[in-house]
Structure 1
């Protein structure tokens, strides 16, 4: 059974009442991937905005493997120290990683964030030398649209992320850089300029699915929906 671990920030954990892109990807893989698979990780909850804590299980559709390693306000800086133990405990075959916005917004510049990517990869490989990883660049967000210096840091990090993937990729533990969704629009695909609505969830799921299909022949091309 192929085991996926979604790793990310608020766009990956999602909040109470949402489907999340994790659910959208699971539904896609149920149709597209012929072999058994599941999602694994040390966490299961959504973020509860009223409680200001990750304590909700109120998924729009809860009947799917909800495990993940994602946190509201967490980035590469926070996940790098956690990934080794998570990989050892939950034995994922593939990490699906969407991080960076929080780091650049609050903690580290582009170069420092790229160094934390390297630490994350090293930690994951120390736990499992054959692990595969799909990394999504920072996608459009409202701060980058309004803050030119921040947008420059995002662009710089995405360049460094691509270089890091090229530098660290190896046959026994492949790194795959997903392409950001070309049609992603903060006005139509988010509910607040950053967090994905239903259409945005499909686009993020499609970015991961498309990368794995094109590079590894896993599944098939993503058929986006808006439900």
Structure 2
């Protein structure tokens, strides 16, 4: 049985009332992946903007495996100390990782963020030497349109991330750099320039699904109508 753990920031945890791309991925896997699988992780909730805390279970569709390791305002820097125990406790086999926007926005520069990505990989492998990781580059958000230094940091980090994945990839624990969602438009696929709406959820799930299918022959091509 493959155990998938979504790891991410606000785009992954989602907020009250949303489906989340995690739901879209689960729908995709259950219709295209023939083997048994589970969605695992130490958390289950959404972020509640009213209480400003991750304490909501108000999913648009609550009847799905809601486990994850994602947090509103959390990045690589926050996940490095958590990932080893999370992988060990939940016996994760595949990590679906979408991190970096919050790091670059508030905590670390591009090079420091890439170092944290390397530390994350090492911590995950310490718990499971055969862990697989599919990693999504940072999708530039609305801030990148008006803040040139931030836009440059995003571009620089994504270059560092590609090199990190290439350097650390190994046969027993493959790392996969996911291609950015094709056609992703922050004006059409988000509700605020950063966080995905329904079409954005599908595009992010599709990016992970297509990468795993093409690189690992896992599942089938993504079909939004089934997810």
- TM-score category, normalised to shorter length: over 0.9
CA contact (8 A) 1:140 1:184 kept: no
Write the mapping of 1:59-98 to structure 2, written as runs, cut at 5 A. Answer: 59-98=59-98
Matched residue, 1:49: 49
Query: Where does structure 1 lack aligned partners over 5 or more consecutive residues?
Result: none
Write the mapping of 1:1-227 to structure 2, written as runs, cut at 5 A. Answer: 1-225=1-225
SS in structure 1 of the partner of residue 54 of structure 2 = strand
SS in structure 2 of the partner of residue 154 of structure 1 = helix
**Post-superposition shift, 1:224?**
2.6
Aligned structure 1 segments of 4 or more residues deviating by more than 2 angstroms: 224-227
Cα gap change, 1:226 to 1:218, in 2 (>3 Å): closer
CA contact (8 A) 1:140 1:185 kept: no
SS in structure 2 of the partner of residue 172 of structure 1 = coil
CA contact (8 A) 1:202 1:226 kept: no
- Alignment size in residue pairs: 227
Query: Where does structure 2 lack aligned partners over 5 or more consecutive residues?
Result: none
Cα distance per residue 1:90-109 (max 9 Å; x no partner): 00100000000000000000
CA RMSD, Structure 1 to Structure 2 (Å): 1.1
SS in structure 2 of the partner of residue 212 of structure 1 = helix
CA contact (8 A) 1:9 1:75 kept: yes
When the two structures are superposed, what TM-score results if normalisation uses the length of structure 1? 0.98
**Post-superposition shift, 1:223?**
1.4
SS in structure 1 of the partner of residue 193 of structure 2 = coil
